[in-house]
Amino acid sequence: MPSDSDPSSSAPPFQGRTIALVGLMGAGKSTVGRRLADKLGRNFYDSDHEIEKAAGLSISDIFSLHGEADFRRGEKQVIRRLLELPPHVLATGGGAYLDPETRQVLRERAITVWLNADLETLWRRVQKRDTRPLLQRADAKDHLAHLVLEREPFYSQADLVVHSKDGPHTHTVNAILKALQTWKSE
């Protein structure tokens, strides 16, 4: 029976691993992740949604009632727990990959894909929802620009980078599938 490590196996190299999407708010992690999961016949999880379920509160309420530090603790625990599940597609919250322990556990158990989008694209998309506490401020676009600069050095540590452009989501899904074919375990 061929295994994932057997070069004669026809299974794609990423078969045994969770695919985790990282990147900024508005990069399309949830929308694209759900479609990617459908295409691969895998389950889809969204760390923000799992935190909300566990807390029984929205992200905005967690931030306002308990503070960002508490949210980050919950986020770290939730991602660690999700990574124990069989291979799936995981959309991580935009700040999750900045945590060194989360980066480490993702490195060990997942293939990380940075969904990279330019500031104007991110800004256009995030304006559609007012559910992101970090952008509830008068200078939201400037702050988003600041987050782009501050976070790029972290996101660029992901295993793969795929550009998230406007247009049909299937284009981004196919770009991820193509990038995954190039992935090799260390």
Residues that bind ligand S3P (CB under 6 A): 25, 29, 48, 59, 93-95, 132-134
Q: For 66, how many CA atoms within 13 A lie in the half-sphere containing its CB?
A: 15
* Cβ closest to ligand S3P, residue 117 vs residue 180: 117
Q: How far is the CB of 10 from ligand S3P (least distance, A)?
A: 34
Angstrom CA distances, 153 to 23, 94, 158, stand at 11, 14, 10
* Cβ closest to ligand S3P, residue 16 vs residue 133: 133
Q: How far is the CB of 135 from ligand S3P (least distance, A)?
A: 8
Is the backbone of residue 28 left (phi > 0), alpha (psi -120 to 50) or beta?
left
* Cβ closest to ligand S3P, residue 143 vs residue 171: 143
Q: How far is the CB of 171 from ligand S3P (least distance, A)?
A: 20
Which sign, positive or negative, has the C-alpha torsion 153, 43, 169, 140?
Answer: negative
